[in-house]
Amino acid sequence: MNSAVEIIALTKEYSGKRVIDGLSLQVQEGEVFGFLGPNGAGKSTAIRILTTLTKPTAGRAMINGFDVVKEPYRVKSLFGVVQQHLSLNRELTVKENLDFHARLHHLSKSERCRRIDELLDFVDMSEQADQLIDKISGGMKRRTMIARALIHRPKLLFLDEPTVGLDAQSRRRVWDLIRGMNSEGSTVFLTTHYIDEAEALCHRAGIIHQGRSMAIGSPEELRRRLGTIAVESKQEGRTSYRYFPDREAASRFVLETKAAADGVVIRQSSLEDVFIELTGRRVAEE
């Protein structure tokens, strides 16, 4: 299988401060890859480098084998981006925003019309086609951004916090769209603060902290490395966590330490546990 994204010893410094520190990773074609890390971990900078907006200080980044620094024009037609912030033109309609993006990607008039109709249907927004961006809901804006990112049939999609600020229903709708895009052949590179989102969507996840890769693997694999069973015990108002390969080992620990039954929870570990152990922070605290 070919690499959709390949990052080799990538480093980025701003005014002498190292934001990315020798980061290396690969994303295979057809994967949904979750890129997780606390604020300031270097996720956005890595995405800015991959999308040609910023140049690296050292190292290489490639998309479908093309170097993002040496061949930026070739690379730009290979990916689509849904940014975290609303980057639509608010004074244009939904359809005009898609049309503008299609023109920037040199689609012919007939192709533009066909693609816009297809994508409006895909994101279930045909009825809102002629509404100004300012007049539609947050969820619809996000769906418009997804449609826009897909207009030129990119092989790779960067989704930067695609569900941030959305209500539960809109969030699930976006999840369905991401699964739909992936099943149609797009590779998805997803950054998210919601670990459950990564767990639900990603084939593999990479955890980045202080510009360095801490772990890469499938959510199941990462949980196995940590221990699939978690024991939470409350002592003096603080909760401590221990991880075990199986339930027997966890139960033995509880019996041996004579922890009070009402203060102990034995449960399946999650990707969030992996994240916290590796980065030393709670995602929710950020």
Partner 1 sequence: MDAYTIVWSDMMMLRRRFAKYLLTTLLSPLLYLMAFGYGLGRGISVNGTSYLEFVVPGIIALTAMTTSFNGAGTRLNTDRLFFKSFDECLMAPISPISLLTGKAMIGVYRGLVSSIAFLLVAMLIAPRLDISLLFALSLIFTCLLFSFLGVFAALLAGTHEDMATFSSLILLPMTFLGGTFFSLSQVPIALKTALYLLPLTHCSICLRAAALGDSFPWASLLAMAGFLLLFSLGSMAALKRLSV
Q: Give the distance, in angstroms, between the CA of residue 125 and the centroid of all CA atoms in the same chain.
A: 24
Count CB atoms within 10 A of the CB of residue 61: 23
Angle formed by the axes of helices 271-279 and 219-226, to 10°?
60
Q: State both tokens at 38.
A: 């606390």
Dihedral sign (CA 50, 51, 57, 60): positive
Whole-angstrom Cα distance, residue 221 to residue 205? 10
Shorter beta-carbon distance to partner 1: residue 162 or 219: 162
Closest separation between CB of residue 62 and partner 1, Å? 16
Nearer to partner 1, 120 or 276 (CB): 120
Query: Does the footprint of partner 1 cover residue 104 (CB under 8 A)?
Result: yes
Structural contact between residues 129 and 161, judged by C-beta atoms closer than 8 angstroms: no
82 closest CA partner among 123, 24, 22: 123
Q: Which is nearer to partner 1, 3 or 57 (CB)?
A: 57
CB of 73 to partner 1, least distance (A): 5
10 binds partner 1 (CB under 8 A): no
Of the candidate residues 101, 141, 171, 209, the single one contacting partner 1 (CB under 8 A): 101
CB-wise, 154 or 206, nearer to partner 1? 154
Q: Which stretch binds partner 1 (CB under 8 A): 21-29, 95-103, 166-174, 183-191?
A: 95-103
Nearer to partner 1, 39 or 240 (CB): 39
The least CB distance from residue 256 to partner 1, in Å, is 55
From 23-31, 50-58, 202-210, 260-268, span contacting partner 1 (CB under 8 A): 50-58
- Output the DSSP codes for 133-169: GGGS-HHHHHHHHHHHHHTT--SEEEEESTTTT--HH
Task: Quote the least distance from Cβ 137 to partner 1, whole Å.
Answer: 18
Q: Are 149 and 102 in contact (CB under 8 A)?
A: no
On whether the CB atoms of residues 5 and 189 are closer than 8 A, the answer is: yes
Tell me whether residue 3 or residue 83 sits nearer to partner 1 (CB atom): 83
Interface size with partner 1, residues (CB under 8 A)? 26
Binding mask 51-90 for partner 1 (x = CB under 8 A): xxxxx-----------------x--xx-x-x-x-xxxxxx
Of 98 and 230, which CB lies nearer to partner 1 in the complex structure?
Answer: 98
Note whether 193 and 161 are within 8 A (CB): yes
- Smallest separation (angstroms) from partner 1 to the CB of 155: 14
For residue 189, the Cα-to-chain-centroid distance in whole angstroms is 5
Q: With binding defined as CB under 8 A, does residue 105 bind partner 1?
A: yes
Smallest distance, partner 1 to C-beta of residue 109, A:
12
Q: Which two tokens stand for residue 228?
A: 């699939």
Answer left, alpha or beta for residue 64, where phi above 0 means left and psi between -120 and 50 means alpha. Answer: left
- The contact set with partner 1 (CB under 8 A) reads 51-55, 73, 76-77, 79, 81, 83, 85-92, 96, 100-101, 103-106
